[in-house]
A and B are shown apart, each in its own frame.
Chain A
């Protein structure tokens, strides 16, 4: 190659570049163009992708309008991101009073910091942080968001909305349904007939009902059974419905994990003198849950997307507040931009969960291989 000749005069600079280039070419030959057919296929895909980007780019970015107070300000041929940007506060906080929004920000920041401390391996003190996040954070966040006592003005839950509401419903659904689901799974495998029966009844009842029906019954039927004038909190009803439904599904997933733990593990624990609870907590559950991590995360992703059903009880989650925004006479015709925004937010959240589960599985697998345990 000509490079070799021309670089001969300056060997110190050119050598590493040359090696880098050769490695890249080798990788490309091996992976992108191993046969003429693969090469053609890859070129077609690259061309299609380029065409897609080239046809989207003018609309999405180059000709887009970024600021304005109504659709009439979007005079260009591109997307009207002014719709999303000018209503961004509403999409994030719903109807939360503007002067109190720092409380939402604080609750969100603490949640992100807490999760980061738990997920980033280098941060020490996982046990303390985990306990704080599980036991102290939920009441703290509830106090911060709802207020009404200890010096904060009350904000009724019908003022909550948008992304904040989606996250409140999603996070509380995931956190609350996990212990209930595990307890139900243990109950289902229990030898005690009462626990076994009740667990089976609960699981089969809630798993067999469509989520919309559960919410529909909560909002329409419950008022008949309550004393006149008594009104339950819609958000509370929605979260309760989601937790019931999700914990039943989760119980079945955990049950699968319990069944996959070899019988020898139970027998070995018994031989060591462990009782039921110590066997479950220290021997069986850690192994069972490790097996079902993909299923658990899948369930959590489904739950997050199910939060859009809370519109049935009259709550505006992210999707519905954006859909409502695009019906405002001043923003008619902005539905596409709105739905793209909602799609991006949901995709980001779900993709983050999926990546985390992937990493968790990977690290658990490598640790297991290191320890030489069962696989």
Chain B
């Protein structure tokens, strides 16, 4: 999510240099995927816990991975028709630009300059992340406002450092930074008591907590001091493909709101009386065809991966070892930010 500033500048420079549309034609990407018979999805190099990792059998697992599978099910009718391309952050944007992958489903924060300069589009936001704090439970700290004078572990050369400095200056507090160069080092520093607090994105902190010897000894503070919206990234050359990616995400969210689950989607498709459910699942209307998809695209998709809530729970939430709270990633009806436009 947050990476060394130099790498971002490098990637941006590369992309700016290469800002040539790779495939001309308005439906280039969709046609290429259909012809190829699989979606090529750029993910992390297996090191993004809960988002994209390899399991014991060597299969990809994670939130981003499930999003790619959902997209493949929506577009091609088969969630297995997806190829995962592991990309280091420094080659990720350039690989998308060059056409080596169809989309990036990795933790790339949506920012103004990236959107404006890279000739890329974020097709929605699937995780609202942000920088938070982890402390030992025995310190009895309940708010980041109580951290005046604390020693704080963080990763050097990243925007984490800048956000932290801003937050402490704004609140008139002081701190001593202990700079590590990787998550593992920061975890060890915290566990060994070299610092009182570790600051990183909430998703990363939740993973770090799982990696601790005794995860129950550590708590995440409620304050979130930065915005880190991440979502699927596509090229700007195929607006139709962007729509399909966006509506894949929106439909997963709408499905959670309407109670459509992996287990009951077939049943709801045949028996539900809710007009919106009927439109989504293709029982009435020709909504799939409007995007060039099959009539039952949403049925196949939800059958393959479940709705947003199920995907989150399985990979990041209470159903996973990470146990990340939903936080901002709750539905708008529950006080979160997830909101799908109406399906009509």
Contact = CB atoms under 8 A, between A and B. Distances in A.
A137 interface: no
B91 interface: yes
A52 to B, nearest CB: 19
B32 A316 contact: no
Interface stretch (A105-113, A190-198, A223-231, A294-302): A223-231
A330 B86 contact: no
A324 B53 CA distance: 6
A245 B45 CA distance: 25
B56 A327 contact: no
A95 B55 CA distance: 11
Given A224-B18, A333-B210, A94 B100 contact: no
Interface residues of B, number: 40
B251 interface: no
A312 B85 CA distance: 11
Given A323-B47, A332-B210, A223 B100 contact: yes
A325 B49 CA distance: 10
A229 B23 CA distance: 9
B54 interface: yes
Interface residues of A, number: 35
A268 to B, nearest CB: 54
- Helix, strand, loop or mixed for chain A's interface? helix
Contacts of A87: 56
B46 A90 contact: no
A36 interface: no
B119 interface: no
A328 B87 contact: no
A87 B56 CA distance: 6
B95 interface: yes
Interface in A280-308: none
Given A219-B100, A311-B88, A335-B184, A94 B210 contact: no
Contact of A316 (B23, B46, B315): B46
B103 interface: no
A228 B36 CA distance: 13
Contacts of A70: 321
Given A312-B88, A332-B211, A228 B99 contact: yes
Contacts of B32: 229
A8 interface: no
B58 A216 contact: no
A329 B45 contact: no
A312 B91 contact: yes
B14 interface: yes
B186 to A, nearest CB: 12
Given A312-B88, A314-B86, A314-B87, A332 B321 contact: yes
A271 interface: no
Contacts of B55: 328, 330
A323 B47 CA distance: 7
B20 interface: yes
Interface in B12-66: 14, 18, 20, 22-23, 32, 45-50, 53-58, 61
Interface string B311-323: 0000100001110
Given A219-B100, A223-B100, A224-B20, A329 B95 contact: no
7 contacts: A216-B91, A219-B95, A223-B99, A314-B45, A324-B45, A328-B55, A333-B211
Interface of B: 14, 18, 20, 22-23, 32, 45-50, 53-58, 61, 85-88, 90-91, 94-95, 98-100, 184, 207, 210-213, 315, 320-322
7 closest cross-chain pairs (CB), A and B: A324-B46, A333-B211, A332-B211, A223-B98, A327-B47, A329-B321, A220-B94
